[in-house]
Every structure is written in C-alpha cells, then in structure tokens.
C-alpha cells in the first residue's frame, strides 16, 4: 500500500501534560524561516517559559525533543534530533544532540517535536504511532538497562520497528549528566537531559511513523542533495572516519596535543596508537554503523569475544570522545576495557565525557591523597587500570557509595572534598571534551562563551583551524597558536553551527556553501530561504540561546577555563596556553554585546526579531 504523505516539516508539536496524562497538538506553523527547526526552534519554543525560578529537576522544567528541519528526508547526514531543557548539570540552557533514527521517525509520524510538561506520579512510557499516542505504565521497566528496556517495549507493544529514546538507571537516579539513549547506543549525552527525563518519571518515548515526506520542490532538492553527497564522498576526513571511525583522529590529536592525558595533566603518552581507530579496526571491529540518512558511517559496532571485558555480542563501539574520556584520561591502553566502559555507560545511561572525566578526577584526587581508598569504597584507583572505573560507572548510575558524589560531576566533586574548582575540568559546570585549548587556542573562547558550558560542537574551532574554510560565512582557518582574528572566527562559527544544529546536520559534515543549505531547506520544506537569510538565522539562533541563559542567571564572570586546563604542557602544544581574556574582550567587541552583563544590545535584539516573542504553548 502506498504510504500517506506528510510535509518535510509537520509544523506541530505533540504536547504531553504528564500530571493529567492529557495530550494535545501545538501548532508551530510560523517562524521556521527565523529558527529553521531542531535546536533553533527548540530555543524559540522554550525561551518564553524558562527563567531562573525553574528548578531543573522539578515539574516546572519543560523537556522538549525536537527533530531537525531535514530529518526524515533523504538529505544526507541530516537525521538528527535535539533534546532541550534547563540543565541540572550547568543550570543554564541544556541541549543535547543525538544521532540514530529516532528524530527522523518522529517526523514520519507527523510530528516535529514532543514536549513533556509537568511530571508523572508513577513511571510511564509514551508510545507514538502516527497520531495515536498512548501513555503506558512503565513500572515493570524501572531499573532496566537501555537495551533491555528497548526489547521489553518492542515486545509489549508488539512492534519490532519502534524507535525508542529511553533512560537507564542513571536517569532514574538523577545523575547530573545522565544521557538519553536511542537505537541501543546512540546517546544524547551532554547537559543531563536524562536526569530531567527521570525527574518526570518518563522511562521512554517510542515512535513509529507510516508517512513519508512530500518535498516542496523535488527537482531542486535532488540537485542540492546530489551536490552534497558528492562533497561528502570527496572529503578526506569523512573518508577516514568511514574507514576508522572518528577514533581515527586519536593519533593526530595526540601528536598536536589536542588530546591530552592523565586527566589533562600530560601532553605526551605512549599509548595513543593502542586506542586509535586503526587499532580498533585491527582488533574488535565488527562493522560500521550508520545513523539514519548517513552516507559516512563513522559509527563502530564492536565485539569483545572473551575475557573480563567481554560484551554480550556486537555493541556500539567507543568514539573519539569516549576514548579520550576513558583511554587518555585514565591512561588505559586496552581498547577492550574502553569498549566495556563505553558499553556500560550506554546501557546505564551515562554521558561518557562527563562520566569519564568525573572518574578521572577521582583517580587524580586519590593520587593527591584527597580521596584515599577508604573514602572510595575501598577502591584503589591506579592509572591505567580500568577495573575500578568500571565499578565506579555502576556505582554512579545507582548513586551508590562514592558513586553518589561522582554523580554530581567535577564541580560537585570538588565542592564535596573541599578542593579548588580550578582543578575541576569543567566550564560553566560541564566537563570539557577532548579538544585541548592549549593545542588550538580558539577552543578556549569556544568553551568559555558556549551556550551550554564546555561544548566542542558550538564552533568546532579545532576543525576549522586544521584547514576547513567556510567562505560563505567569512571563515578562514587561523594557525592553531595564533590569537589574532580568533574572536571573529569563533563568533562566525558559532552562528554557522547554530544553523547546522537546527537543520540537524551531523557535526562532521561541512557543506561548501550556505546557498547549498538554503536550497536544501527551501526545496524540502517550501519555506523560502536565501543564503543571506540563513546566515542571519544563525546569528538569531546564537543570540536567543544567550537570551535564554541570561534569563537563567548566566553571568560572564563564569566565562573562564579552570587553571588545570591552562598549565603549560610538554608535547604537541609546545607549552602554549591561550590568552583567554584577549579573546573574550575581542569577541564581545565583535558581537557588539556588553562585556560586563553579557547582554546583546536592545537594537540587536529587535533587529533579529527577538523582542516580545509570544509563548508557543
Ligand atoms: S557520520 Fe557518524 S555521527 Fe555523523 S551521521 Fe554518520 S554515523 Fe552518525
């Protein structure tokens, strides 16, 4: 039977009031031109309702799942979705980007987003089959790990093709950096959206759609799609990611110092090759994994067949950031052990970056004598030994013993032990990813001014500095140790990445022009969009996220890196440290925003159409 059609964007949200169990439709038929979809539209929808009185783990915090504008179409590598709310980890804007297939499926069910309001009295899971929405008892699912949860829901609903976003025990126990998982291992890891979902007592949202997108201009869409497909096929980095996964970057990162070691205190280590994508390919790799609409397939499916790190069969393998968190941070050279840690984090619902760094901080504190084994549930934390880390992952997910302290993240750990927060590897409360600002100095500015704490996806400065220009956005690569021009470059990248995150483009793909993206968007959705309008939308999306943060109590006082990330290192960084103050001053000057308050000027807010935005729901 021919499937019914839906539009590439559905222009409506599914609203679920968890206290009453009532569902309704919220039309969002305007403002796609201004906010595009995905992250931009999520910010627009939540901006009028988020303020500093909203406790992140209270029923007052709305949780929004939003598919990107081009998710559900055949546009290559655009199949992602975001999950947004006030973050329990940072207390500012929480936004977590996820691959897999859930977002595309939501679009094919006829929705652009799912908005969870309030909190349920008892545990529930939501099943969406096109317009039919059921809120079902999830008590039998409580305590289950992610894969077990997915299997149980598919069995109970009798639908093997359901796409499921769920939390593990970490989300149930409100671990500050709990993730939301889909497709048995694709994580919306950052900013603790799993804890917000847990606070609402929602174990899972499952979706299946029977529609397919109707494109506004199929011929123009196909032309733009084919151009982008060709660009992806011709891209050296993406070919390398296809072959080795993004862990293929481990070797180069260790040489340049982008990847530092031993909880960010060492610039050199002899174990990088052992934990690289090439080593993975030679040992435990079973096959590639492709997110929906992806033609690259950087995902790895691995299997550890025997020994104490044995996996229960082929499972999602560790990516570059996870290898940084559990390999480089803990000095563990064993890819099988890292794969086991990754598998456990996915199953228990833990962000591997924040989780790995929190555990690394515990190793660091034990070496300093602050956290002796008797205060760490008897665990001896020896660099290179993954076994206690594996125990800690389980303890964190249940908030058991020392796990209850580590579940708070590095700032919480520092406060608990009375250690200086300058030793916590976090910016605005979120643990830093593995792109060291001593190797690419503009990364310092990227982290300090990001909308969600230490985020490497808000500008991907290291990628540009390595030689990826974006002429349409006026972006040219700058030498990695050079400070001149960094402020403008980072600001332009931030605006551009906001567009990518709203279209739901994979972070690794960099189209050659804004015109190409505007053509894809307008031909798919029927919403007219020029290159200039798309570029302006990027600035609007960056600015509205700052306005949200100001409403949430954001202060430029916190725009800094902790001292542990600013100590000169040996190795590829050549002892360089970023001059962050210079970068920040120039960034505010370039944006024309007030350095003392962090505010954009009223005239800019009005020019971007951001004043007096009415509530959407
Ligand atoms: S390149 Fe990797 S992260 Fe990006 S869409 Fe493909 S599989 Fe997913």
Residue nearest to atom 4 of ligand 1 (CA): 506
What is the atom index within ligand 1 of the atom nearest the CA of 242? 1
40 vs 34: CA distance, rounded Å: 8
> Both tokens of residue 515?
């015109």
Residue 559, phi then psi, degrees to nearest 5: -85, 75
Instruction: Judge if the beta carbon of residue 98 lies within 6 A of ligand 1.
Output: no
Q: Is the pLDDT of residue 574 over 80?
A: yes
Q: Is the pLDDT of residue 5 over 60?
A: no
Q: Is the pLDDT of residue 167 over 90?
A: yes
> Both tokens of residue 497?
């990445």
What number is the average pLDDT over the span 548-564?
97
Domain-embedded: residue 286: no
What is the atom index within ligand 1 of the atom nearest the CA of 295? 6
C-alpha of residue 435 to centroid of ligand 1, in Å: 19
Instruction: Judge if the beta carbon of residue 297 lies within 6 A of ligand 1.
Output: yes
ipTM of predicted assembly, 2 dp: 0.99
CATH number for 465: 1.10.599.10
Lowest mean pLDDT among 3-12, 106-115, 441-450, 563-572: 3-12
Q: Is the pLDDT of residue 28 over 80?
A: yes
Ligand 1 mutation pick, 296, 319, 463, 501, max ligand atoms within 8 A of CB:
296
428 by DSSP, 3-state: which? coil
Ligand 1 mutation pick, 74, 98, 99, 189, max ligand atoms within 8 A of CB:
99
Domain-embedded: residue 508: yes
Domain-embedded: residue 505: yes
What number is the average pLDDT over the span 123-135?
98
Q: Output the average pLDDT for the chain.
A: 96
pLDDT of residue 305: 97
Q: Is the pLDDT of residue 212 over 90?
A: no
C-alpha dist (Å) from residue 83 to 97, 319, 521, 595: 7, 20, 21, 29
What number is the average pLDDT over the span 399-417?
98
Kindly report the length of the chain.
617
Instruction: Judge if the beta carbon of residue 247 lies within 6 A of ligand 1.
Output: no
Domain-embedded: residue 451: yes
Q: What percent of the chain has pLDDT over 90?
A: 96
What is the atom index within ligand 1 of the atom nearest the CA of 292? 5
Domain-embedded: residue 84: no
What number is the average pLDDT over the span 345-350?
98
Instruction: Judge if the beta carbon of residue 299 lies within 6 A of ligand 1.
Output: yes
What is the atom index within ligand 1 of the atom nearest the CA of 79? 5
Instruction: Judge if the beta carbon of residue 99 lies within 6 A of ligand 1.
Output: yes
Per-residue pLDDT tens over the stretch 277-326: 999 999 999 999 999 999 999 999 999 999 999 999 999 999 999 999 99
What number is the average pLDDT over the span 442-458?
97
Domain-embedded: residue 586: yes
Instruction: Judge if the beta carbon of residue 294 lies within 6 A of ligand 1.
Output: yes
C-alpha dist (Å) from residue 342 to 7, 336, 413: 37, 10, 22
C-alpha of residue 104 to centroid of ligand 1, in Å: 14
C-alpha of residue 280 to centroid of ligand 1, in Å: 17
Residue nearest to atom 8 of ligand 1 (CA): 291
C-alpha of residue 423 to centroid of ligand 1, in Å: 33
What is the atom index within ligand 1 of the atom nearest the CA of 80? 5
C-alpha of residue 375 to centroid of ligand 1, in Å: 41
C-alpha of residue 74 to centroid of ligand 1, in Å: 14
> Both tokens of residue 235?
């891209």
Q: Residue with structure tokens 């011929």?
A: 219
Instruction: Judge if the beta carbon of residue 293 lies within 6 A of ligand 1.
Output: no
What is the atom index within ligand 1 of the atom nearest the CA of 246? 2
The pLDDT-based confidence of 492 (bands split at 50, 70, 90) is very high
Residue 267, phi then psi, degrees to nearest 5: -95, -10
468 vs 495: CA distance, rounded Å: 16
476 vs 496: CA distance, rounded Å: 13
Instruction: Judge if the beta carbon of residue 143 lies within 6 A of ligand 1.
Output: no
Domain-embedded: residue 458: yes
Instruction: Judge if the beta carbon of residue 506 lies within 6 A of ligand 1.
Output: yes
Domain-embedded: residue 525: yes
C-alpha of residue 297 to centroid of ligand 1, in Å: 5
What number is the average pLDDT over the span 251-261?
97
Instruction: Judge if the beta carbon of residue 291 lies within 6 A of ligand 1.
Output: yes
Q: Is the pLDDT of residue 4 over 80?
A: no
Q: For residue 454, what is the DSSP state?
A: S
Domain range for 535 is 442-607
Q: How many other C-beta atoms lie within 10 A of the C-beta of residue 426?
A: 28
Which has more pLDDT, 91 or 2? 91
> Both tokens of residue 533?
């309008």
Q: What percent of the chain has pLDDT over 70?
A: 99
Instruction: Judge if the beta carbon of residue 248 lies within 6 A of ligand 1.
Output: no
Ligand 1 mutation pick, 96, 102, 297, max ligand atoms within 8 A of CB:
297
Instruction: State how many domains the chain has.
Output: 1
């Amino acid at each position: 039977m021919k499937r019914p059609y839906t539009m590439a964007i559905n222009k409506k949200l599914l609203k679920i009031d968890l206290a009453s169990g009532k569902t309704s439709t919220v039309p969002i038929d305007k403002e796609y031109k201004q906010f595009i979809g995905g992250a931009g539209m999520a910010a627009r929808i939540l901006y009028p309702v988020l303020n500093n009185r909203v406790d992140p783990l209270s029923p007052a915090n709305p949780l929004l799942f939003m598919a990107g504008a081009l998710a559900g179409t055949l546009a290559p590598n655009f199949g992602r979705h975001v999950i947004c709310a006030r973050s329990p980890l940072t207390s500012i804007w929480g936004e977590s980007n996820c691959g897999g297939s859930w977002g595309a499926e939501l679009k094919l069910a006829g929705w652009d987003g799912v908005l969870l309001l309030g909190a349920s009295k008892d545990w529930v899971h939501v099943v969406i089959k096109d317009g039919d929405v059921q809120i079902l008892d999830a008590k039998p699912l409580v305590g289950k790990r992610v894969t077990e949860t997915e299997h149980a829901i598919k069995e109970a609903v009798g639908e093997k093709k359901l796409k499921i976003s769920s939390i593990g025990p970490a989300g149930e126990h409100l671990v500050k950096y709990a993730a939301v998982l889909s497709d048995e291992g694709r994580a919306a890891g950052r900013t603790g959206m799993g804890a917000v979902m847990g606070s609402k007592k929602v174990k899972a949202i499952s979706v299946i759609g029977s529609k397919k997108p109707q494109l506004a201009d199929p011929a123009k869409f196909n032309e733009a799609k084919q151009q982008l497909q060709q660009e992806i096929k011709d891209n050296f980095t993406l070919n390398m990611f296809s072959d080795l996964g993004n862990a293929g970057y481990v070797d180069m990162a260790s040489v340049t110092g982008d990847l530092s070691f031993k909880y960010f205190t060492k610039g050199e280590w002899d174990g990088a090759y052992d934990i690289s994508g090439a080593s993975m390919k030679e040992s435990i790799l079973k096959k590639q994994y492709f997110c929906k609409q992806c033609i690259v397939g950087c995902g790895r499916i691995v299997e550890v067949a025997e020994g104490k790190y044995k996996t229960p069969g082929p499972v999602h393998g560790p990516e570059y950031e996870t290898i940084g968190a559990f390999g480089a941070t803990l000095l563990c050279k064993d890819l099988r052990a890292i794969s086991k840690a990754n598998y456990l984090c996915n199953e228990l619902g833990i962000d591997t970056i924040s989780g790995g760094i929190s555990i690394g901080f515990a190793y660091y504190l034990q070496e300093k004598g602050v956290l002796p084994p008797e205060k760490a549930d008897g665990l001896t934390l020896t660099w290179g030994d993954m076994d206690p880390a594996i125990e800690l992952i389980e303890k964190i997910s249940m908030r058991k013993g020392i796990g209850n302290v580590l579940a708070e993240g590095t700032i919480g750990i520092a406060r608990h032990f009375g250690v200086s927060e300058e030793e916590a590897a976090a910016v605005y409360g979120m643990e830093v990813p593995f792109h060291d600002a001593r190797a690419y100095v503009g990364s310092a500015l990227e982290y300090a001014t990001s909308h969600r704490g230490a985020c490497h996806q808000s500008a991907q400065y290291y990628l540009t500095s390595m030689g990826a220009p974006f002429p349409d956005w006026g972006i040219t690569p700058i030498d990695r140790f050079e400070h001149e021009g960094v402020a403008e470059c980072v600001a332009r990248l931030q605006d551009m990445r906001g567009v990518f995150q709203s279209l739901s483009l994979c972070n690794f793909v960099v189209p050659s022009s804004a015109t190409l993206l505007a053509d894809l968007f307008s031909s798919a959705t029927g919403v007219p969009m020029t290159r200039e309008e798309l570029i302006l939308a990027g600035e609007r999306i960056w600015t509205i996220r700052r306005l949200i943060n100001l409403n949430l109590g954001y202060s430029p006082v916190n725009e800094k890196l902790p001292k542990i990330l600013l100590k000169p290192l040996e190795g590829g960084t050549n002892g360089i440290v970023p001059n962050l103050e210079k970068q920040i001053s120039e960034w505010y000057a370039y944006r024309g925003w007030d350095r003392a308050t962090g505010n954009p000027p009223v005239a800019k807010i009005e020019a971007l159409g951001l004043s007096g935005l009415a509530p959407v729901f």
